[in-house]
Amino acid sequence: MNKQQEIDILSHLISIKSVNDHEAAVADYIESLFKPYEDQGVKIERVSYAPDRDNLIVTIGEGERMLGFSGHEDVVAPGDLSQWNSDPFKATIKDNMLYGRGASDMKSGLAALIAAMLDMLENHHVPGKIRLLCTVGEETGEYGAAQLTKLGYADNLAGLVIAEPGNDMHEIGYTSKGIIDYIVTSKGKGAHSSQPQKGINAIDHLIDFAVQVKPLMAKFDKVNPVLGPLTHVQSVFNGGEQINSVPAKAVMKGNIRTIPEYPNQVVFDTLNGLVDQLNQKPGYDLTIEYSFPEDAMPGDKDAPLIKLIEHVHDELFDGPIEPKGQAGASDGSEFLHAKGDFAIALIGPGNNTQHQSNECVDLDVYHQSIKFYQQLAEEFFAQP
Ligand SMILES: [Zn+2]
């Protein structure tokens, strides 16, 4: 595959407006690229999450051990279009940088994995069994990865490489924080404020929760050497209807970033426990819900896969590679629940323009990353 063909794949992916939806068109396109190789034993599977939202799984090669590659098909919204110097859904090249929504996060990474695999097929040299997992909904809750994990598509992998961007291939993510978004709703009873005894003040009860949850979360005081401490932010507080009414309803939201030292279940138990305890009091009616929680990804920077990535990186790129912990969750947080114990690494082309206007990727880095994934597969299967 030549460089223009590599750019064409990335440009085509960017032209598909898979903004938190419509990943089926991305799956269609990737499927069309692999279809011509079906006589080489390429297996293409689709798993629909919702109408117009399809995960895609492409498996090539043969062997006992299976290496996983993964990328998400969705992108975030382009935001204020006036802040863009070009159409976010038309790849535009200037000074060897390619601009467009997803240029960093992570259509370049996905395109590089695809190009690497197509190259192997084109040259009739696939070094082992490789499975590409293309997911929906990473940006809004990793539910595509959750679905594929549940169905067993990531079971017993020998290693998984997710092509999320990291400082132009100079960062490797191997551990990340988990996320718990919680929503507490307090129900009371409305009444005129001149007769408060006739009502039940939902805000008062919610404030009790808001005040008491803080010291409970602060008790999780271990500090992970790479990721730092568990953090807790009470981020939204709404309640009441008007100034002369006893509020009948109040809602608060909080965001917790967990660390491997505290599995999410321990935090859930603590939050649920506080809600149960407050509900013992007369008139209290609190409920708590969680939205797409993710466990922390423990990771081991000395795992053979991480060491191999560092080695291949040194062969192909100038400058050092930095093992990193990440404060945000990725599809890795879901895939780690698959059967078997395998290392997960995040490394891909792209930079810190992700989720911003004028998102871009350095084309030299993009082309080199394709060689990197090929070389990585080659050396991965050469190892015993
Ligand atoms: Zn991403």
Are 260 and 168 part of one and the same domain? no
Are 152 and 34 part of one and the same domain? yes
Tell me what pLDDT residue 252 has. 98
Are 105 and 16 part of one and the same domain? yes
pLDDT tens-place string over residues 144-189: 999 999 999 999 999 999 999 999 999 999 999 999 999 999 999 9
- What percent of the chain stands above pLDDT 70? 100
| Overall average pLDDT of the 194-203 stretch | 96
Are 286 and 305 part of one and the same domain? no
Q: How far is the CA of 219 from the centre of ligand 1 (A)?
A: 32
Question: In this structure, which residues have their CB less than 5 angstroms from ion ligand 1?
Answer: 105-106, 164
Q: How far is the CA of 24 from the centre of ligand 1 (A)?
A: 17
| Overall average pLDDT of the 221-249 stretch | 95
Q: Distance from CA of residue 218 to its chain's centroid?
A: 27
Tell me what pLDDT residue 90 has. 98
pLDDT tens-place string over residues 248-277: 999 999 999 999 999 999 999 999 999 999
Question: If pLDDT is split at 50, 70 and 90, which confidence band does 68 have?
Answer: very high
Q: How far is the CA of 330 from the centre of ligand 1 (A)?
A: 7
Show which of 231, 264, 294 is a domain's final residue: 294
Look up the CATH number of the domain holding residue 79. 3.40.630.10
Q: Determine whether 138 is an active site residue.
A: yes
Residue 104 pLDDT > 80, yes or no? yes
Number of structural domains found in the chain: 2
d(CA 53, CA 38): 23
Are 142 and 216 part of one and the same domain? no
- What percent of the chain stands above pLDDT 90? 97
Tell me what pLDDT residue 384 has. 75
The mean pLDDT of the chain is: 96
Look up the CATH number of the domain holding residue 282. 3.30.70.360
Are 123 and 265 part of one and the same domain? no
| Overall average pLDDT of the 351-377 stretch | 97
Are 338 and 372 part of one and the same domain? yes
Tell me what pLDDT residue 383 has. 87
Encode the chain in three state secondary structure. Answer: CCHHHHHHHHHHHHHCCCECCCHHHHHHHHHHHHHHHHHHCCEEEEEEEECCEEEEEEEECCCCCEEEEEEECCECCCCCHHHCCCCCCCCEEECCEEECCCCCCCHHHHHHHHHHHHHHHHCCCCCCEEEEEEECCCCCCCHHHHHHHHCCCCCCCCEEEECCCCCCCCEEEEEECEEEEEEEEEECECEECCCHHHCECHHHHHHHHHHHHHHHHHCCCCEECCCEECEEEEEEEEECCCCCEECCEEEEEEEEEECCCCCHHHHHHHHHHHHHHHHCCCCCCEEEEEEEEECCECCCCCCHHHHHHHHHHHHHCCCCCEEEEECCCCCHHHHCCCCCCCCEEECCCCCCCCCCCCCEEEHHHHHHHHHHHHHHHHHHHHCC
pLDDT tens-place string over residues 7-47: 999 999 999 999 999 999 999 999 999 999 999 999 999 99
Residue 218: give the domain boundaries: 178-294
Q: How far is the CA of 358 from the centre of ligand 1 (A)?
A: 16
Q: How far is the CA of 356 from the centre of ligand 1 (A)?
A: 13
Are 276 and 304 part of one and the same domain? no
Are 251 and 338 part of one and the same domain? no
Q: Determine whether 74 is an active site residue.
A: yes
Are 42 and 163 part of one and the same domain? yes
Q: How far is the CA of 69 from the centre of ligand 1 (A)?
A: 14
d(CA 141, CA 292): 5
Residues in the chain, total:
384
Q: Which residues pair with 299 in a beta bridge?
A: none
Catalytic residue among 105, 119, 138, 164: 138
Catalytic residue among 54, 73, 74, 142: 74
Residue 328 pLDDT > 90, yes or no? no
Cβ-in-10-Å burial (0-12, 13-18, 19+) of 188 comes to: buried
| Overall average pLDDT of the 64-83 stretch | 97
d(CA 368, CA 374): 10
Are 260 and 333 part of one and the same domain? no
Residue 326 pLDDT > 90, yes or no? no
Are 281 and 320 part of one and the same domain? no
> Two tokens at 126?
């696939």
> Two tokens at 305?
């896969």
Angle CA(94)–CA(97)–CA(103) in degrees, nearest 5?
120
Show which of 294, 328, 356 is a domain's final residue: 294
d(CA 366, CA 373): 11
d(CA 135, CA 105): 13
Show which of 278, 294, 310 is a domain's final residue: 294
